[in-house]
Each structure stands twice: as C-alpha cells, then as structure tokens.
Structure 1
Amino acid sequence: MKIYLSAFVCFIFSCMLSRVEISIATDTLTISGPLTINETLISRGGKFHLGFFSPGISNNYYLGIWYAIAPAKVVWVANRENPLNDASGGLSIGDDGNLVILDKSGQSVWKSSNMTYINGGSVAQILDSGNVELRDETGTLVWQSFDHPSHAMIPGMKLGWNSKTGLHLNLTSWKSSDDPSPGEYTYGIDTKVQAELVIWKGSSTFYRSGPWNKISFGEVYVPNSLLFNMSVKLDAEDAYYEYNMLGTTTFLIATISDDGVFQLLLKNDVADWVMAFVMPQVSCSNYMRCGPNSVCIEEDSPYCSCMTGYIPKNPKEWHDQVWSGGCIGQSQLSCSTLDNYEEHSDLKLPAFSLFFVNTSMSLEECRAECINNCTCKAYASSYLLWDEGGCFLWFEDLVDVMKLEFSINHLFIRVPILDSISASAPGYSKNRWRIPVIVVMNIASTFLLLVVIFLIWTRKYQRKGGAYSSKKGDEKNLELSSYDIVTIERATQSFSDMNKIGEGGFGPVYKGKLSCGEEIAVKRLSETSCQGVNEFKNEVMLITKLQHRNLVRLLGCCIHDEEKMLIYEYMANGSLDSYIFDGSKHTKSGLLEWKRRFAIIGGIARGLLYIHHDSRLRIIHRDLKASNVLLDTEMNPKISDFGMARAFREEQLAIKTKRVAGTFGYMSPEYAIDGVYSMKSDVFSFGVLVLEIVSGTRNSQFHHPDHDFNLLGHAWKLLMEGRALQLIDPLMEDSFSISEVLRCIQIGLLCVQQRPEDRPTMSSVLLMLDNDSAVLQQPNCPGFFTERSFNQNEATCTMLEGR
C-alpha cells in the first residue's frame, strides 16, 4: 500500500480532556486508593494517562487511556456502553479483585472480568506501553486491557485470534466523535479461510485486503521503515499481527473511524499527527466495487471491466456506470480440457465463498483438480503461502477482484474455449498456437458425430416405420407421460414470474395448474444449466422407477426444441431450507416445533433407506441438502432433484468419478477430495442435514466468535464437553424432548464422521431414531470440521475431553 504523509485532521480530543484533572504521581491503583472522575494515573515514563474523559459536547464520562502528548489521542475506552452521567463515582478494585467502575449510588457500570481472582490483594498498573495490567497478590497477570481493544491499537497490542485464550481481538468504531459507544464498523483479521484483514459493516463485509502471503495482506503492503515495523504470526495456535516501534521519539496509533476507514497515524515530538496509510485506499478497494466476475482497475475510466468470457449482466446499467450487477458468463463452462485458463499475476485473489484449499498441491495438480470439476471457475497457487505449495479453487462467482500494483499471486481464470478463441486479454497469447488445432479438431469431431447420428436415426426410422413410431418408442421407454409445450404454458401462465416458486442450479421452477385441476411443479432446465441431456435422461429414468411416500413423484416431462422440462407433483409448503433457515419465530421457522422437525428427520431417513436398499435400483442421490427436501400440505418431507443421482450394482461398494458435482457443505470428504462416492456419501449429507434441522443454522454459513469450527465441528465440540443442548435452535424454546434432541445430535455426528467405514448405514440410522433404548457410540472426529482448510493427504483432529 502507498505511504501517505499528508496532513491529518485529527479528532479533537483536547476538547474531551478539557475538564479539570488532578494527576496522581503514581501508575498503580490498589484497593485502598480508588480513582475519582477528576484524577488520572500516569505511566512511569509519562507516556500514557488512565482516567475519565468526557468527549466533545457530551456530559457523559468514560474511563479511557490516552497519549499524554498534545493533541491527546484516546486509545482505549472501558465503559463504552455504560457511561457515568455525572462527575460522581470512579474506578476502584472490588472485593473480588476486579477493576470496577461505580456510579454515584455505588452500582457497578463496568467490570474487568466476571471471574474472582483473590481476596482483595490485586493491583492495577498502567505501563508505558499503554497497557493496563491487573495482577493478583502473587504477581500473576489476571487481566489486561490489551486483551480487550476498543477502537484503536498501539504498538505491542495484537489484533487477531489466540487459540489458548479463545480471544478474537478486533477494533470497533465509535458511533461518532462525541459518542464512544460501539459503532457499526469492525476491523480485524478474518481467519475462517485464509487470514486477511477485513472491515465489517454490521455483519456484512465492507472491505477485505486479500490473504496474507508472507509479504503482504493482498493489496495491503506496509513496508517496514526506520520508525516501525509490522510483525505477523499465523500458525495452528495464533493468527495475529502487531506494530513495533524502533525508536522512542515517535508515537503510533491505528484506528477504525466512525465511517469505516482504517487509519495508521504517526507523530513525533515536534510534528502533529500525520497519516501513514489508510484502507480502503482507493475506490476499487471497496468490497465488490464492480460486482461479480469483473475486475476493478483504478487507473482505467470507467473502473470496471468484465473478465474474459463474461459480459455485463445488465448492459444498460453498465453503460450508466452502475456496476453492482456485475457480469455473467457468455458461454457455459464445461468439463473440457480444451477450456483456456487465463493467467493473471497482478490481481487480488477473489473472495473466499464456495472455496477449496489444499496446502500441499502443486500448480499442475491444482490445475488438474479444476479441469475435472465443471463448476470450478478459477484456481490459484502461491508458493509463499505454504512451504509445500498450495492450491485455491473457486466454484462460484468471482467477486472483489481488483488490479494491484504489487502482487505475488498467480490467478488462473477459466475461459470456455469458444470465448478464448476471440479473446485478446493478457495470458491469451500464450495459448494462441492451440487455437487452429482445436478448431480443426472441433470441426472434425462435429462432422463425425453428425454422420453417426444420421446412421443411427436412419436405422431406427427403418425399424420403427418412421419418425412418429420412434418417438412413441422413446415415450414407452421413459414410462411416463409426455406433455406438450402448449399445455405447460397454459398451466404456468406462460411461465409468469407470479408462478415462479424457486430456482436451483439447473434452472427455475414454476407452479402450474392443469385443465383437470391438478397442481404441478414445472422444473424448466436453463439453457446455461450444467444439467444437459444426459442428466435430464438420468433423472427421468431413475425417478420413474422410484415410488415412495418420501420421494417427490415425477408426473412426466416436456421436450420442446432445445427446452427440457420435468413435471412433478406440486409440494404446497416448498423446500425445507425456507423453514429451518428462516430465523424468525413469527414466520416459517416458528412453525417447526421439535415434534415436526423430528418427523421430518425420520421421513428423510426412510426415503434414503428406500433408494439405498429397497428400490428396484440401488440409488446414490449425491446432492441431498435442505433445498432438495420438499414439504407437502401435511409437512411430510419428500426428497427431490435426482439429476446428480447414480445407480449402483448390488456388488458395488463405491465408485470414483472425475466429475465432482454437488453442494459444498454437504459433500463428504472422500467425494469432495477424491471423487469417491457411495451410500456413505449420502449418509454424510444426511448427518449435516440433521444438525442443520436441530440448530436452524446452515453448515456452510456457520460462524462462532470463539473458534473456527463449522457447524459440524461446533456440534462435536459441544457433545464432547457435555454441552450438546446449546446447539438447539432457540426458536424451539422448550417444545422439545431432551432425549430425542440429544439422540439426533449424536446420530448426526455419527453420520458425518471422517472415515466412511465409521458411518452407520441408513437402516442403522432408522433403528437408532426409532428405538429410545438404543445404545449409541461416541462419534469420532467429523469430516471437514473446520472452515479454515483441509488437506487431502492428511487430516488431524485433536480429541476434546468432557468437563
């Protein structure tokens, strides 16, 4: 990041400290010497003060720490949410050994900790580092202000995460220059995937730097100077950074402002505070400045450009420089090895959503992994991230990408071969020699395919007596009704938006009503859908052979020109995810009391048992998730969407595929990493679904302030510590049976164990669900139990012991 030395108009904290102060010639506070409103403690070297201040025109009083130099800078505030409203009260050490702020009536408005330390022998001291330490009578440190930052950090203070203490140290802005209470902006290190600096506005990302690469945090490059340096530690136990001063005549403070700007300020004995750097620094730094699948280039006019192979989603808005809609693919991504991968060495890596990381893959292995997955949109490798190498894969829209002046990352963006032929972007020239060969191969293969199709069609026409009899033969093979396009258009009011009831990865779904009065659901496969003719036929052939009360019934299909549609029975209550993830007691989530959730879990289990063991075909679903479970008028669950399903022979135990397709968060480790799927893959997905139903939380979106486990790891941690009931969705209140809930949590965790052979079969699952007296084993470590990363060659898990 560039260094800025322009003058900084600082907060006028001198106004805050204009009240009469009495400096106490000491840096310590004991039980016998409380600190009143008008008194301050001074660190031994005179660098910092601890006392009360009243900001701006406010009449409230806050306990704070500030630089003693003028103009003063407050660096820490204790009672941000509970100020004293007059000059009475003060700071003292309570009977339990904690620091405590008391109002005029003797009531506590702030306390350093909820723990009891000693019998009144503790001592608090403000140090020349700006840290306030509280030690017990033995001299042991029991609390310090550095572990509880407010809006600013100073040298020696760490921001980040510590596994031993469980502390996440972030900065939170003031509401305004007159109000130190917590504002809407938070700054810190996000360690959920790869460590990067993030500013949040509420719960939404406002800014992200890009991942740490041992030189910089993405676009944030702060060179060490003669005045200070920045040290970063990222390992299994810690993820933090701090500033260290190299001299004694310069002061430093880093703050998050009330408008969401992070500022690093410097000052010496003679000059005023000046700004060393800020973030966001430029317009392109703002999160998703140009929308998805685009690149923001600050030097260009306009800023935003679509990536190669993408076009503006809304051309008119794009022309009017409204870029929030971003760009969409010009052509459908394929699994072809002929697709081009455009290399960029000057871009910030995209945001980490639907993302895969492997810390030991080579660049060639990373490329192969992306090629073999038709949903992979980009990959990257940076040898500085991990000593062994490293691979990133992105499976959704590429967002928050900007051009950098300094970067060591190499990002490879997938471009369909038809788009790469006409491309002229950087990186394309390297593959220009392939184009003539590819074009010739495509023409030759297309011609050969047409010849084969013509010969096959001719023979079928001769055998069946014409085109009409051939079509009738196909319908007979499908064993279901064929609807014409006119009937479907009438039923759905020409696919009116008013009739649209959902949209999945394969296209929109519409509600319809036939002339006989029967309600139907029409799944209209998108032209850009990954589900082609093979998947369409696969779903038709499989579902027509499956009949079970917990499976959605397929009524027929409609093929018109290039359009393919599936006609299902209509499910009045929609998908399960709209209920369990709704999050409001007064809407859908409030309708799912525990009795209903438990019945839904049982119904899903019976549906899976049927397709695994009892149907005419042995079926692996491969995409079981909350959105693929539909609810009828009686709230009975029915499994839907068999486009990814596969049939097994009786003797087969597992199958390996080069094309991994499914939904991350529900996919088992052996399938996501190695492409191996079996019935135990569906069991894993079922376990995830059970834990989601119990908790009302998505596995892929779960975040806990005290650790980096996902929902699976969090549930396992709670069970091992004897606190499993804390997982329960609060919306269920006390409507649940404790024994049933605990049994479901344990069953869910048995289903998501790392090793497939450790997971139960669905017949065992149903036995455990239906039998109150069944003895359940303790689950081993779950697969993908942490959000941060996974390694396909090695997975370690530390066993937790119950307390």
Structure 2
Amino acid sequence: MPFAEGPRNLLLRLLLPLLSLQSCNSLGTTITFNQSIKDGDFLISKNKAFVLGFFRILTISTEGNLILLHNNSQGLLLWSTNVSVTPVSNNSTMVQLLDSGNLVLVNQPINNQSGVLWQSFDHPTHIILANMKIGLEQGKNIVITSWNSQNDPGTGSCSIKTEPNGSPQIILYKNLAKWWRSGHWDGLHWNGFPNINRQSKNNSFDIVLVNNKDEVTTKFAVLDPAVIPIIEIDGSGSLQLLAWKGQQQGWVKLWSPTDVCDKYGTCGPFGVCKAYTANWVKCGCLPGYEPNSPEEWRLREGSGGCKRQQGAPSMCRNREGFVKIPNVKVPDTSTIKLDINSSMEACEQKCLNNCSCLAYASADVRNGGSGCMTWYEDLMDTTQFAQGQGQDLYIRADAIVSVLVFWFSHSLAKYTKKSKRFLAKKGMWLILVFPPIAMIFLIFFGCWCLRRKTKGSLRETKQYGSTTHKDLEYFDLKSILVATDNFSTANKLGEGGFGSVYKGLLANGEEIAVKRLSKNSGQGLEQFKAEVKLIAKLQHRNLVRILGCCINAEEKMLIYEYLPNKSLDFFIFGRSRSLSIDWKDRFDIINGIARGVLYLHQDSRLKIIHRDIKASNVLLDSTMNPKISDFGLAKMIGEDQIQANTNRVIGTYGYMSPEYAMEGRYSTKSDVFSFGVLLLEIISGKRNTNYNLESPSPNLIGQIWDMWREGQALGIVDPSLSSYPAHEVSRCIHIGLLCVQESTTDRPTMSEVVYMLGKETPLTSPKKPAFILQSSNPNSEAPRRGHSLNNVTITMLEAR
C-alpha cells in the first residue's frame, strides 16, 4: 500500500503547534529499531517547527522497513515502505523527522542524503511543504491529492499535477476536469500567478522550477526561517497559500484563487477573461472572434466561448497579421509547439507561414523576450490582468480591421452600437474592395470617437474631479425616473445617512437598487466620490455589485444590483422574521461577511477599511448570501500602512472601536472590532446598543462578557434558535470576544478570523472588551470607558 493511501487514512498529523503538545510524550527527532510511535507519542524536528504523530503504531520492522501496525507490535500490518534494505540488519535503519518536515528512512549513520531509502516528500497528500517537489522526477509523478473532507483523509477528487507537455504548467483538477491553471513558466515565475508571485517577495520565499531531461518539478525555497509557507487543497477544489508566522503563532492566508477568471476556461475557447475589471460581465472575445451565443454571454459570467467572425476572409496568406494583447495569462500551453532557441522575429514569421497557427508568444519574457510558443488548437483559459502583470500574446487576425475592431470594442464600447456593428461586419469588405474609401472612413470614424471620448472625459472631470468611473455604465435621469416610478414611496427600500434607496425596474426587465444622495447632505458629494472610486474597483461574491451611476445637475445616484432579501438587521432584529433564519444560515452569513472584509483588507488590489460594518450594511441575496454594502465611509490606505488618523470620526455608535471613536485612529483592526460586534449580534439576535435593565452592563458586549466569565455564554443565544451545535456557537462567541478586545494588538486579523471560523484550532483566552462597565461579578476587572448610545450614523466628532 503506497504511503499516500496508508497513513493518510490513519490521520497523519504534521505541522502541529508545539504549544498544544505540552502533555504529550516526545521521542525526539528519530526512532530506531525496537522503538515505535503510538497514540500520544510524537517525533519533533530539531528546529521544533514540525511534529509527527499517529493514532496507530509506527515502527521499524526486522527487515529494516518503516511499517504501520494496527494496535500493537504483533498487530495487523497496515502499510510498509517496502524498500530493499542492504545489508539486512536489525539496527541498520532509522527514521528521522527533518527540519523541512520530511520524514526519512535512512541507513545509519546519517551522514548525507545518499543514505535515504525512503522519504515522505515523495508521497505527499493534500499539502505542499517548502522544498517538497511536485512534478516528474526520475520516472515518478509526484501529485498532491485532496482529502475526501476535513474529517476524512481518504483520497479525494481534487489533485494538483505538473503538466510537462508544451511549456510546463501546474494544473488543479477536480473530478478529472481542469479546475485552475498556473499558466506557463515565463522565465521568472508562473505566468498566471501574479498574486502568489507578489506574496513570495513579501514573505521571504521563492518559487523554483527545474526543467531538464531528468525532471520537471516545482518547489518553494524558504528564505526566511520564521515563515513556513504551504499550499493546501481540499475536496471542494479550494486552493490556498498559507504561511505559519512564528510571532503570530497561527496560519495566515496569503492567497487563494477567488476571482471568476481564476476558474479554468471561464470564457470558453477563444474568449478572454478580464481580471482587471470590476464589471459583472468579465468575458470578451479575442480579436477576430465573436460570441457563440450572445444571449448566453449577456446573462452569465461565463460563456460557451467564441468563434471566428461571420463573413471574415480567409486567414491563410490573405494580408493577415497579428494583434498584440498585453498583460495576459497566455492560453493553455499543453498543446503548443515550443522552440526555446527562436527569436521573437523568427517566431512571428514561423506562425505567419503556417495557416494553422492561431497565436504566438515568447517562452521567456526576460531581456525583451526569447523562445517561441505557437498555438494550433482552441485558445483556452486566457486571462488579461492589470498593467504590469502577465505578458504579451499575439493573435492572428486581419492586419488592419481586427486591430481597429479590437480597439473600438475595448476602448470605445460605450459609443454607438450601430457604428460598432457596422465596422465589425462591413469593415473587412470595405478595405478589400475600396481601400482608399475605407481608410478615409476609418480615419473620420476614429477622430469622431476620440472627440466624443475627450468630451466625455472633460465632462466627467468637471463633475467628479476625475475619470475613475470609466468602467461603469452611465444612466440618464429619465430612465431612472421611469424605473423607480418617479421615486415613489412604494418603491422605497430604506434610508441611510446620506440618502434613500429605491427599487427600480429597467426597460430590459433587470431589477436594480438606486441609492439617491440627499441634496442637503453636507458630506454627500465627497461620500459619493469615495464610494464610486472604491467599489468600482472591487469584485467579490460577498460585496454588493455596482452597475453604474447617474449624475444630472444636483442629482447624484448609484445604481446597484437588487437584492430581494433586504438587509441582515431585518432578519436578526425583527422578531417576526428571526424564526426563519436558522443557525446554519447565520453561520454561513458570518463566514461570508468575514470573507468579504478579508477581501477588502488583503485580497483586493486596494487595501480598504470599510469603517461602517453593521447589520444594516449587510444585504442578502435570494439564497441568503451576504453582501457588504455602503462604501461611503470607506478609506483606502497604503499597502504597507498600518493605520491612519482623521479629524472627523464618522461611523455608527455601537460598532465603532474605541481607538477610532475616541482618538480618530482607524485601521483594519477597527473593522475587526465592528465585525466582532456584528458576529455577537447575529448569535444573540440583539443590538449591541440595547439596554438590559437586569444586567449591570449597558450593552450586549458587556452582557456576553459577564456570562462568558461565568461559563454561561450560551445563555445569550437567540431564543428563536430551537436547535444549534453548542460547540460551534460557543466557538463563534469566543471569536467574537477576541475581535472586540480593547487593544488593537490583541485583536486577530481578518485572515486569522476566517481561519478560526473554518478550522478547529486552539483559541486564546479573550481579554476584556472595550466599552463595558464594572461588572457585578466580583471577579471582573473591567473598568468603564464609555458606552454605545444608539444605532445612528454620526459625523464631525473632533478627535482628541
């Protein structure tokens, strides 16, 4: 039985924090003949970074092999390394747990790696450790395979493999289908891995590829011993890069592919997914191609892909050329032809001379590009990134018309649809039959579009102060008035600090939510600018999606997707509705909000502090998926910035952290505090600002803190929850109290919160929360600093 199928089913435990093993029996770093590891025993690496233990007995057989027994030394043999040991001797081999986390069976004495008979790094399961290779080496295919589930370590349906054909790339499979792809190795890093490439620099580890006739492998090389990076996959196909940081004593998620463009083939063959845009529809067609199904394209994120444009002339030696698409993860390279010695000039000519060649790109981006990759089959899984990422891809297309069509469709898409269709369908015919007339027409049309674009930019600059909103759709006031029935009371969904929100129905049948800024709001214009600039650049399943905006004289409106289940406070605080939201829904909502805030803090291209996380700013879609809304108070800070100060404290009493409310200091930990308050409200069904005359504490946090210290925390659970898993609810209360601790340094980060919610890891004891009175509990040491007053948004508080 191979190692991946034996010990994994008996719960092999690596990477356990040593703090949890103080009462366990350590056997040191090695075991020899007549020694064994049984339940309660552990091997610990020399640097104390890795620990290994079994729920069965692991020992060395008389033949010198590492074996796994069921219960005792005479028990059923479950697994063996089954290697040839020469010479055969009772004490010729030993097992050692190395500082890398690698478990090795070696001949004694251990002088170097030449004596290694067997090693666990050759038989991984669901985790990639630093210096562990994946790929092909000496005839072995080292593959990472998921567990069935978190509690079942049997072989799952997801795996990570190295694809050596064409130009090497790493592929995640789910049920044997391609699920995610790293892109090819471009000489510096994985072409489609921009986030992890950045994380590797920030966290002192490197990614190394070995590609020669003997092996094609990848591994992490650790540069900072205080950081232990791993890649983990689970049975659902989730892939994440984690790092153990000694100072924090916990795992921190550095990266996970969550964008719609990360899924393999989102836009189908000959489609391109735009990872740089926050628009809902991310798919487009490569130059010279059109959607297979325009209706499907309009209704869904993904598509059935693209096909050659109808009526397009032959692409075989018929005046065709190439259109350059910058900043892309190039299409799947498993079927390409590779010539590592070719120049880019020769590569272009090579593709041009072969009528079956559809595209080309450089194999190595260093020093201006070298080597040649050419595609002859469907171009699959192409993604375009923001500037400075990816590489150039050259698509075979008509030399003149496709360039213009591509330019018009990407840069001037908002102008006359009729002109665009005319250019796409008739342009090639014009150029081929009447070249002079065609050129005059194209020059005139291009100048007209540029003039329109320039006027639009100047108008936007005058109204907004910038043109940040160019990716949004602009709605005219008349269409909004019709959609909302002239902002009728019947369509009013709610009212916030800066205006009212109305339900609307567009002419195409799409439901929308219109946020109409109050004309008398002193902060209205500034908050409008902030919200548009920020949310237009964000996209996450737990953030509300903006469709566009409308500006007409003093009218300023934001148009959002319509979410039918209103806001979270309607469910958890309205007694008539709380009966319809059970614990599973509440726990899913808690997790969704946490992931949304984590995206703002860490995973988006910006580093954003929301500053007003509360129940009324969490909207629920038709499946009760939570979406964070109202970014009017959000602030963007530098990637390396820890906190910032303001002279105007704006937020909601009851959710504001003490350092922000009292001193004007805000940071990501301010959002953590607000999230903690919201988490406790979701569990209890009570507002933090509700007074309880029977409790000495003026708010919910204080009540829960008193009950927690008395071991009665579950007494705060919403009475409408007739049944719930006590352990899970108690753990969530614990996490909530960690988030609302008075000191920012004591509060966890949102990445740690997400990890604690998803993993049964040990939790530290919470310290006293902020904003609580002296308790009647004689053991309590919580002094009074202040208390929440109400649930209204406040502004213009001077920081001291």
TM-score, normalised by the number of residues in structure 1: 0.45
TM-score, normalised by the number of residues in structure 2: 0.45
